[in-house]
C-alpha cells in the first residue's frame, strides 16, 4: 500500500524536533511492514498549500496520515480538505498529541479515521489494515475511531502500546535537519535545540509515572515507562553520525533519568566510544544526583533540562511530590552543573494556578542569577478542551496566550503581567554551542 505520513503546512507557535518525530517513526514502522511510505514535514519545510496539493494530487496515495499537534489544528483541517478535493479515493486519518487529548473534536473534520490511543504506529497500522480489508462497517480497530457508512464507530478497546523493542527508529535520510537548524538559530525563541549545531534526536523512552496534570504524556504514552536498550541507542547514534554531519544528540524521553542504572550504562558505553558525542536531555531535579551528573558530563552531556515550574511554595500543591521543594533542589543542582560544566535549562510555567506574576518573576530572576537558562511556557489547561469546541477555540491551547484570560483576572491577576514574563527580551547566550565542535565541512 502507498502511504503518505505528513505534518501539514503551518506556522509553528513553538518548535521541538522531537514533537515532529512521529512523522518519521510512523514512516519507518510502516516501511518495515512492507508498505511504500513517503514522509513529509511540510511545516518545517515551509511548504505552500500549492506544493502540498501537488504532492497529494500526483502521489495517488492509498492512505494519508496527517500528524496533529496543539498548534497545527488549522493545518490538519485544511490538509484534510485538500485531500478530499484532490485525492477523494485516498483514506485520510489524523494521529498525534491533540487527537489523544480531544479525539471527538476531529470527528467534525472531513476524515476517515482518528487515532486516539496507544502508540501512533499501532493506530496507523490499524487504519491500513481496515483499508486493506475493504473498510468494513463492523471493524474493530483498537484505539481508533473509524468513519463507516453508518457514521463514526468509536473503538471498543484501548490502543496498543508496543514494547520498546518493537519500535522502528527513524531513518535520518527522511528528516529535514537543515530546516530544523534554522528554526533553532535564534536562541531567544526558547525552542529546545542548540543554535548553530545539527541535532540528532534519539527517541529512547515513552511513558512517565511522575503524573503532572499539565502534561499530556500519561494520556499519550501511559504511566509505565518503556525504554530501548543502551546498545540500540548507541548503535543508532554511531550509524547516524556516520551517515550525516550531526554535531550533538538530543535524547528524547519524558524523564530521561527515571531509570538511573540505564543512564549509567549509557554513559559508560558512550565513554568507551572512539569519539565523544555531545548530548542533552530533559528530566526532573528529583531524578538526578551528583554521581549521575558527573558521569553524564564525562560522557559528553552539555545540557540538562529540568522542570523547575515554580519556586512559589504556595503553588506546590499543584505539583507532584517529586517536583516540590524546587528552590532547595535547584541550588544543589546548580552547584553540580557548575562543577562539571553542564548547562542547566529550567522550564518555568507562567500562570500556573496558585502563582503570581511577582512570584514568577522572582523564580525567573533566581534562575538567571544562578547562570542557568530560563525556558518559560504558559500554563495551558488541556483538561478543559471539549469535543464541541470550534477550531478557533481549540487553537487557543497554544501555550503562548491564555485560553481564558477572565479566569486569570478572577484569581486577582493581570494576564498582561504574566505575558510580559513570557515574551520579555532575554539576552541569555547559551554556552552549549561553543561546547559542541562543528562537523568538518558543514
Mean pLDDT, rounded, for 220-233: 91
2-153 fold: Rossmann fold (3.40.50)
C-beta separation of 202 from 248 below 8 A: no
- What residues does 349 pair with on adjacent strands? 377
Of 142, 157, 146, whose CA–CA distance to 92 is shortest? 146
> CA torsion angle for 252, 253, 256, 258 (degrees, to 10)?
-170
**Residue 279 — left, alpha, or beta (φ > 0 → left; ψ -120 to 50 → alpha)?**
beta
Q: What pLDDT is recorded for position 270?
A: 98
Q: What percent of the chain has pLDDT over 90?
A: 90
pLDDT higher than threshold 60 for residue 442: no
Rounded distance, CA 39 to CA 168, Å?
A: 14
Place 441 in a pLDDT band, splitting at 50, 70 and 90: low
- Note the CATH architecture for domain 176-435: Alpha-Beta Horseshoe (3.80)
Phi/psi for 72 (5° steps) reads -130, 30
What residues have CB less than 8 Å from 208, skipping those under 6 apart? 215, 217, 218, 221, 223, 225, 254, 255, 258
pLDDT higher than threshold 80 for residue 285: yes
Mean pLDDT, rounded, for 6-32: 96
Place 215 in a pLDDT band, splitting at 50, 70 and 90: confident
Domain-by-domain residue ranges, the chain?
2-153, 176-435
Place 440 in a pLDDT band, splitting at 50, 70 and 90: low
Residue with cell 478557533: 392
Of 77, 89, 85, 167, whose CA–CA distance to 114 is shortest? 77
Mean pLDDT, rounded, for 431-440: 92
Residue with cell 503518505: 4
Q: What pLDDT is recorded for position 315?
A: 85
Place 253 in a pLDDT band, splitting at 50, 70 and 90: very high
- Comparing 321 with 7, which gets the higher pLDDT? 7
Question: What's the mean pLDDT when you consider all of the chain?
Answer: 95
Question: Is 273 exposed, middle or buried (CB count within 10 Å of its CB: 0-12, 13-18, 19+)?
Answer: middle
Q: Count Cβ atoms below 10 Å from residue 62 Cβ, excluding itself.
A: 18
Q: What percent of the chain has pLDDT over 70?
A: 99
Amino acid at each position: 500500500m502507498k502511504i503518505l505520513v505528513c505534518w501539514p503546512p503551518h506556522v509553528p507557535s513553538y518548535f521541538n524536533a522531537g514533537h515532529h518525530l512521529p512523522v518519521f517513526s510512523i514512516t519507518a514502522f510502516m516501511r518495515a511492514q512492507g508498505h511504500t511510505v513517503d514522509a513529509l514535514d511540510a511545516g518545517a519545510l515551509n511548504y505552500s498549500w500549492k506544493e502540498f496539493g501537488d504532492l497529494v494530487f500526483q502521489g495517488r496515495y492509498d492512505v494519508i496520515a496527517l500528524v496533529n499537534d496543539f498548534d497545527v489544528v488549522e493545518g490538519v483541517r485544511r490538509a484534510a480538505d485538500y485531500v478530499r478535493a484532490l485525492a477523494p479515493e485516498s483514506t485520510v486519518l489524523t494521529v498525534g498529541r491533540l487527537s489523544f487529548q480531544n479525539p471527538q473534536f476531529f470527528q467534525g473534520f472531513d476524515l476517515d479515521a482518528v487515532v486516539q490511543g496507544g502508540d501512533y504506529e499501532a493506530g496507523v497500522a490499524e487504519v491500513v489494515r481496515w483499508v486493506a480489508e475493504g473498510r468494513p462497517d463492523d471493524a474493530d480497530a483498537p484505539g481508533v475511531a473509524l468513519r463507516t457508512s453508518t457514521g463514526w464507530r468509536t473503538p471498543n478497546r484501548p490502543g496498543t502500546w508496543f514494547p520498546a523493542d518493537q519500535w522502528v527508529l527513524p531513518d535520518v535520510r527522511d528528516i529535514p535537519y537543515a530546516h530544523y537548524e534554522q528554526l533553532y538559530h535564534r536562541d531567544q525563541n526558547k525552542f529546545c535545540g542548540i543554535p548553530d549545531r545539527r541535532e540528532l534526536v534519539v527517541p529512547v523512552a515513552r511513558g512517565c509515572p511522575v503524573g503532572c496534570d499539565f502534561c499530556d504524556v500519561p494520556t499519550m504514552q501511559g504511566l509505565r515507562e518503556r525504554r530501548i536498550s543502551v546498545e540500540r541507542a548507541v548503535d543508532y547514534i554511531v550509524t547516524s553520525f556516520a551517515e550525516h554531519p550531526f554535531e550533538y544528540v538530543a535524547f528524547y524521553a519524558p524523564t530521561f533519568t527515571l531509570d538511573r542504572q540505564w543512564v549509567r550504562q549509557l554513559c559508560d558505553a558512550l565513554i568507551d566510544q572512539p569519539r565523544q558525542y555531545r548530548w542533552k536531555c530533559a528530566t526532573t531535579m528529583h531524578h538526578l544526583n551528583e554521581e549521575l551528573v558527573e558521569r553524564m558530563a564525562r560522557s559528553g552531556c552539555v545540557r540538562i533540562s529540568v522542570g523547575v515550574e515554580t519556586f512559589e511554595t504556595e503553588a506546590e500543591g499543584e505539583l507532584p511530590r517529586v517536583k516540590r521543594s524546587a528552590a532547595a533542589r535547584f541550588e544543589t543542582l546548580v552547584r553540580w552543573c557548575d562543577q562539571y560544566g553542564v548547562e542547566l535549562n529550567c522550564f518555568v510555567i507562567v500562570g500556573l494556578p496558585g502563582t503570581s506574576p511577582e512570584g514568577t518573576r522572582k523564580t525567573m530572576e533566581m534562575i538567571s542569577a544562578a547562570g542557568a537558562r530560563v525556558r518559560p511556557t504558559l500554563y495551558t489547561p488541556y483538561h478543559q478542551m471539549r469535543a464541541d469546541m470550534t477550531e478557533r477555540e481549540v487553537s487557543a491551547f497554544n501555550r503562548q496566550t491564555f485560553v481564558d484570560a477572565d479566569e486569570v483576572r478572577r484569581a486577582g491577576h493581570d494576564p498582561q503581567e504574566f505575558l510580559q514574563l513570557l515574551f520579555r527580551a532575554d539576552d541569555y547566550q547559551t554556552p552549549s554551542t561553543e561546547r559542541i565542535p562543528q562537523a568538518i565541512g558543514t
